[in-house]
């Protein structure tokens, strides 16, 4: 597929999360971040559906501090299992960059390090070297993106959702969330406002993660442009990405998480399918 030639694409995203428990659990409070907002730059949510297979559940929607759509599920008791099934249809169009309204820089999380993105001495030294190599802005973001790609090798199973950017860089290996955390650590150390993006990439098996660097539009509006960077692939991203949520790091946008009362551990089984349902090419 020549993504550069695409003018409009449509996707169907299907996901399921099933938790099996060896004994009944009580007071389940679950959080799902699997439905994108109605609008995200050139991306538009056409429709969506979420089903919960479990008796006595209460489901509600809300928006978090980052503007993500969060689904809360409450259940007084789960006897043996509970399953969440989400279906989303989205459309993307090749258009102008993603613009954010004036006041965007008041979101302090764009520049503040988190537990997962705090820069240690090695990251601070790399940030200082990168800052000397390119002017602040898009060129510096490109340098950081390439640096992370060169510094890391993709390998699953070595890291998990609690691995920090410093730990991943020390290993020199990890998965997409580790690449994103390392890039966020470097961007913030270089005073480049940046945020974590969770979503899907056509051709990838699991969920994907990348980074958006927010820079002034410099056109007198006070607005910003959110520039996507995918350090896992050393690319700027494209129409083959479906964005779901943004935050300071992975912890803000975990697709599925929750708590319950019981002295047993659940077993999670997931599945995902992303289908390209329509393509309109230029010309």
Q: pTM of the predicted model, to two decimals?
A: 0.95
Look up the CATH number of the domain holding residue 104. 3.10.620.30
Say which residue the tokens 């730059």 belong to: 41
Q: Domain containing 55 — which CATH number?
A: 2.60.40.2250
Q: 219 and 143 share a domain?
A: yes
Tokens of 203: 């051709």
Q: 204-230 pLDDT, tens per residue?
A: 766 899 999 999 999 999 999 999 999
Contact 232, 6 (CB under 8 A): no
Is 135 found in the same domain as 241?
A: yes
* 112 and 22 within one domain: no
The answer to whether residues 136 and 240 belong to one domain is yes
Q: Are residues 220 and 274 in the same domain?
A: no
DSSP letter for each residue of 237-259: --TTEEEEEEESSHHHH-SEEEE
List the beta bridge partners of residue 86.
15, 50
Domain of 245?
98-253
Number of structural domains in the chain: 2
Q: What is the pLDDT of residues 132-187, one digit of tens each?
A: 999 999 999 999 999 999 999 999 999 999 999 999 999 999 999 999 999 999 99
Is residue 232 domain-shared with residue 261, that is, in the same domain? no
Q: Do 112 and 84 fall into the same domain?
A: no
Task: Kindly state whether residues 109 and 128 are assigned to the same domain.
Answer: yes
- Residues 106, 156, single domain; the answer is yes
């Amino acid at each position: 597929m020549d993504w550069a030639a695409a003018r409009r694409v449509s996707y169907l995203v299907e996901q399921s999360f099933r938790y099996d428990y060896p004994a009944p659990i009580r007071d389940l409070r679950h959080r799902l971040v699997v439905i994108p907002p109605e609008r995200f730059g050139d991306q538009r949510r056409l429709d969506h559906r979420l089903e919960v297979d479990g008796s006595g559940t209460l489901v509600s929607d809300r928006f978090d501090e980052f503007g993500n759509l969060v689904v809360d599920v409450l259940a007084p008791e789960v006897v043996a299992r509970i399953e969440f099934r989400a279906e989303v249809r989205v459309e993307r169009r090749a258009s102008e960059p993603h613009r954010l309204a004036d006041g965007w820089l008041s979101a302090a999380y764009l520049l503040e390090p988190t537990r997962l993105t705090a820069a240690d001495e090695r990251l601070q030294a790399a940030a200082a070297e990168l800052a000397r190599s390119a002017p602040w802005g898009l060129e510096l973001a490109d340098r950081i993106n390439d640096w992370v790609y060169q510094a890391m090798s993709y390998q699953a199973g070595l890291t998990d959702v609690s691995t920090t950017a410093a730990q991943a860089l020390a290993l020199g290996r990890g998965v997409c969330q580790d690449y994103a955390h390392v890039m966020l650590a470097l961007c913030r150390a270089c005073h480049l406002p940046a945020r974590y993006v969770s979503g899907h990439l056509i051709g990838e098996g699991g969920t994907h993660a990348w980074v958006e660097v927010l820079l002034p539009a410099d056109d007198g509006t006070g607005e910003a442009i959110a520039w996507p960077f995918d350090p896992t692939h050393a690319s700027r991203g494209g129409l083959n990405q479906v964005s779901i949520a943004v935050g300071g790091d992975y912890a803000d946008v975990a697709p599925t998480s929750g708590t319950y009362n019981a002295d047993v551990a659940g077993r999670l089984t997931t599945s995902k399918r992303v289908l390209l349902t329509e393509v309109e090419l230029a010309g």
